Structures are given as C-alpha cells and as structure tokens.
Amino acid sequence: MDFFPAFLVSFFRLVLNTFFRSIKVRGIHKIPTNGPVIFAVAPHANQFVDPLMLSVTCGRSVGFLAAKKSMDKFWIGMLGRAMKSISVERAQDVIFSGKGTIYMPDESNPSLIHGINTQFIKQIKPRSSICLPKDMGTAEVAQVISDTEILLCKPMITPGAVACLRVVDESGNMPGTVYKISPHVDQSRMFSEVTRRLSHNGAVGIFPEGGSHDRPELLPLKAGVAIMALDAVAKHPNLPLKIVPCGLSYFHADKFRSRAVIEYGDPIEIPSELLEQYKNGGTDKRKAISLLLDTIEVSLKSLTLQSPDFDTLMVVQAVRRLYTPVGKKLDLDQTLAMSRNFAEGYIRMRDNPEVKALTQQVLQYDRLLKYYGVLDHQVKNTNISSMRALCLFCYRAVEMLVFFILSLPVLILFSPLLFLSRMVSKKMAAGMNLCSVV
C-alpha cells in the first residue's frame, strides 16, 4: 500500500471511529491477503461511507469503481484518484430528454417507432436507448431511419409500454409520449483497467447494485461485476481471481455514534466450465454471466438483512426488541443474526392468521411508543409514583436550563454555519434525488 493512500485510510479510520460507536467486522479471515480480488459490496447505502468502511477494514489497497459524474468534482475526484478509484461513466448520468414525442404507429410492428417534431438523426445513434416515462420501458435502437423513424433491437411490448406509445386523443390522433435518450457508453477502457489491476494482483471494489439507495432489500444486481471477473480470467487463464462478497448493515446510520456491521463472505472462485461457457460467446456467454451473477447475489443476501418492504423491516426490528429478555444486551452479531432469522421466518409465515394478529399488536405497540416518546428499554422505568415523576421533571427541567445557558454562546457562534450547511445539504440532496434513477 502506497504511503499517501495508507495515510488516507488511517485518517478515514479515525473519522469512522469517531462517527460510529461500534464497527463490527466479521469474516475478515476469509479475505485473501494477496492475489487478485474483486470485492462485491451491498447494500450500497452511502456513496462515500460504504467504500471507506471497506477500505479501513479489509487490509487490502482497494480501488473502487466510482461514477465519473462524482469523479469530475474537484475534491471528490482528488480523493478518489488518491485512493486509486476507477472512473465509470454511467448511462444514467448522461441521459437527456429527446425532442418531440414518439409513438408506435402499428402494433403489429412494435419495433418501428415514429416521432413527432423529433430529431432522431441528430440526437440518436445506433446502440443508444429510448426510455419511456415512469419506467414504462427501455429499448436499444438498432437503426435510425430518418428524423422521425427509428427501428428498435427489441420491441417494447409490455402492456404499460404499448399503452404509453399508443395513446389516442379525442380526435383519434396519436400525440405520442415524451421520452429520454440514453447514449451508448463505451466501457472498454474501464474494463481494460480493471483487468490490468487484477492481472497485477490488485484489489477492485464494486457496488453491483449500480447506485446508492435506502431500500430494505437489495436492488437487482448489474451484470458488470460478473463480466469483469469472467473477462479477466478469460484473458489471463491462470489468474487466481477471487470474488469476495461483502455485506454492510447500519443501525440508525443517520445518527451520530451509531453502529455498523461489515461482514465478508466466503470467496467465490470461477468454475472452469463457467469460463468455457463464457468463452463460447453468444447465448452461452450470457448464461455464464447470469449464473455467476446469481451466485454473487445469493452470497450477498446471506450477508445482509433482507426485507421486501419498509413495513416488514419495522415489524422485524420491533419483534426483535420485544423478544430480547429484559436486562439482556445483545452484541451486534446477535442483533444481526436475530433480525435475519425473524425476517426469514416472518416472510414465510406472514399470511398465517396468528402472525397477522401479532403483527397488528406489534405495530400498535410501536405507535404507542412513538406517541409517548419513549423507547422499548424505557418502558419498565415508567411505573413510578406521581411525586417521584414530579421531582424528576423539575430536576431535568433545571438541568436542561443550565446546559442551555452554558451552550448559548456556542450556539450563537456556530448557528450561521449550521444554517448554511443545512441549506447546502438540502439543495444538494434535492439535486441528487432529481438525478436518481434507483
């Protein structure tokens, strides 16, 4: 590990240990100490914290794949290059709105798309993609016939896409729908750089979901991680490449002094038959990529807490807290293991009438806690006399007043900075939400 990247890792370790009360690392012995490694990390909750979390715990010098859009920013790009990140231009970062509207004139020939006031010749190249609004459909362009006609590689024939492209107005005409154009992005240089690093026994980190999110389950994995691994071994047959799945779990990640768990899974090796299938090209190649991607996904799911929706996650966490015996404090390993077990059991049994009834009781209890502003572990302390409650209230009111007076100078001094940082963060968050396609 070079001096400057090592210095940055040490600095960021200090930052993370300051923000997080506890960072639990599991399975670190499974990481190869040398040789080529691809770290597949999920879920991707934070664009900056997640790669730092892996960099400070894995013991390897890791070059992460980072969005070119982020790398083009001065400070982020400078730190990214210092950490040997690999810039990746993503299709969603260069997508733009197309001129005019498009429609499908003939349902029997869905590959042919017509435009109204469009500029297909100027705006679209073969292998670009047409994206319908509200994720109704996406299709690659095979041929640009004219400014108002294009031919798709595969037609968009889902009911939503057809309904969107064949809207008829009151006069019987097709006004068409707005659309976006996603230019084809040539990733050959990025793949070459990944292969070069792996061939020199380097370590590469990738978030195969393709973007950060706050959903309670993994997003569908992108094929890039499987293509990188298979392509590297295909070009270097004796390359002892390992894919190490890595699961990240945060507990109240938005709060200062929260807790985190990072767990490394068993390294995945590429079977020789899968490699031969990849080398055959065509359908066999796609099957090989899909099989390896499925293997990675299964490994990642075993390392993370999976929940089909946010409500299920809330139920699981509430049940886990209620199940924990009074006075028993679970460590992070036990908390995560119990949450996973409850999630798996709940998903299998949630249609059971008894489980449904229990779920409603748990949710009602959770709502009561929020209404009264207390936590689970505080419930046992609420059964006190009126006199003691009054004394406690007076004591804490005086205590709060004293601390408020003592903190007032600092509050006045730093309030402009706090206000400014809040405004900037809101503005940046709004911009990122508009650009997000996750």
Q: pLDDT category, 187, cuts 50, 70, 90?
A: confident
Q: Which one is predicted more confidently, 395 or 2?
A: 395
- How many Cα neighbours within 13 Å face the side chain of 190? 21
Q: Answer whether residue 431 shows pLDDT above 70.
A: no
Q: Answer whether residue 29 shows pLDDT above 80.
A: yes
* Candidate from 187-201, 247-261, 286-300 with smallest mean pLDDT: 247-261
Contact indicator for 111, 155 with CB cutoff of 8 Å: yes
Q: Answer whether residue 363 shows pLDDT above 70.
A: yes
Confidence at residue 137, expressed as pLDDT on a 0 to 100 scale: 87
Confidence at residue 212, expressed as pLDDT on a 0 to 100 scale: 76
The strand pair at 86-88 and 149-152 is best described as unpaired
| 298 token code pair | 């299964």
What integer is the mean pLDDT of 62-82? 89
Q: Above pLDDT 70, what percent of the chain? A: 95
Nearest to 379 by CA among 342, 332, 324, 337: 324
| 320 token code pair | 């886990």
Compute the distance between CA of residue 348 and CA of residue 355 in angstroms, rounded to an integer.
10
- Placement of tokens 């729908």 in the chain: 177
- Reported as a single tens digit per residue, the pLDDT across 119-175 is 999 999 999 999 999 888 889 999 999 999 999 999 888 888 998 999 888 888 899
Confidence at residue 2, expressed as pLDDT on a 0 to 100 scale: 67
DSSP string, 371-414: HHT--GGGGGG----HHHHHHHHHHHHHHHHHHHHHHHHHHHHH
Q: Answer whether residue 199 shows pLDDT above 70.
A: yes
- Reported as a single tens digit per residue, the pLDDT across 84-96 is 999 998 877 889 9
| 200 token code pair | 């020199």
What pTM did the predictor assign?
Answer: 0.75
Q: Answer whether residue 305 shows pLDDT above 80.
A: no
Work out the mean pLDDT of the chain and round it to a whole number: 87
Compute the distance between CA of residue 197 and CA of residue 200 in angstroms, rounded to an integer.
5
In the chain the domains, ranked by start, together with CATH numbers, are 3-86+190-303 (3.40.1130.10), 95-182 (2.40.30), 310-378 (no CATH), 387-437 (no CATH)
Compute the distance between CA of residue 100 and CA of residue 97 in angstroms, rounded to an integer.
9
Beta strands in 209-317 (DSSP E): 242-251, 258-264
What integer is the mean pLDDT of 293-316? 81
Confidence at residue 426, expressed as pLDDT on a 0 to 100 scale: 78
Beta strands in 51-162 (DSSP E): 62-67, 86-88, 96-97, 101-103, 112-116, 129-131, 138-146, 149-152
The strand pair at 112-116 and 138-146 is best described as unpaired
- Reported as a single tens digit per residue, the pLDDT across 394-420 is 999 999 999 999 988 888 888 888 888
DSSP string, 424-436: HHHHHHHHHHHH-
Q: Which one is predicted more confidently, 366 or 81?
A: 81
Cβ-based neighbours of 181, under 8 Å, separated by 6 or more = 95, 96, 97, 98, 123, 124, 128, 129, 130, 131
Confidence at residue 54, expressed as pLDDT on a 0 to 100 scale: 93
Nearest to 191 by CA among 143, 148, 229: 229
- Reported as a single tens digit per residue, the pLDDT across 227-278 is 999 999 999 989 999 999 999 888 777 788 888 888 899 999 999 999 999 9
Contact indicator for 241, 292 with CB cutoff of 8 Å: no
Q: How many CB atoms lie within 10 A of CB 349?
A: 12
